[in-house]
Amino acid sequence: MTISYTRGAKGTVAGELINQQPINYVAGTPTAAPGPSDAYASFQKMVSHGMASSGTFTANGTSTVTVADVNMTTTSIVLISLKTVGGTVGAIPTLKTITAGTGFTVAGTASDTSVYNYVIFNYSA
């Protein structure tokens, strides 16, 4: 993935993402922003190419929770967000371990039994 930024009267961001398809954004240019369906289509394209996966897990306080996902690699990026509040919500659960081809483990804060979303993004350096 390459991303470049040129600053001038109008900022320009260009890069390559998903099968070397170019992406461009010019600040201040009156263009229609991609809608939610465009973002969903892009995510589905990433999933179909093995570049992303997603799911949910339920926190168990400070106890470690194992999340099985065969798409996990040693270079994966994991994003976690709150889906449904349960117990006492503290900080977003912390990623504790990563096992390529198996999944990852997380631990939350005391009394947190919330359901969390996760998204795994895979990339090649």
Domain extent, residue 67, equals 51-121
Among 1-10, 69-78, 94-103, the range with the most confident prediction by mean pLDDT is 94-103
pTM for this model (two decimals): 0.63
DSSP 8-state secondary structure symbol assigned to residue 70:
T
Domain count, the chain: 1
Q: Is the pLDDT of residue 81 over 50?
A: yes
**Chain centre distance of CA 90:** 20
Determine, yes or no, domain membership for 8: no
Task: Look at residue 55 in the predicted model and tell me its pLDDT.
Answer: 92
Task: Look at residue 38 in the predicted model and tell me its pLDDT.
Answer: 65
Q: Which two tokens stand for residue 94?
A: 């912390």
Determine, yes or no, domain membership for 18: no
- Rg (Cα) of the chain, in Å, rounded? 18
Q: Find the farthest-apart pair of alpha carbons in the chain and give their distance in angstroms, rounded.
A: 52
Q: Are 64 and 105 in contact (CB under 8 A)?
A: yes
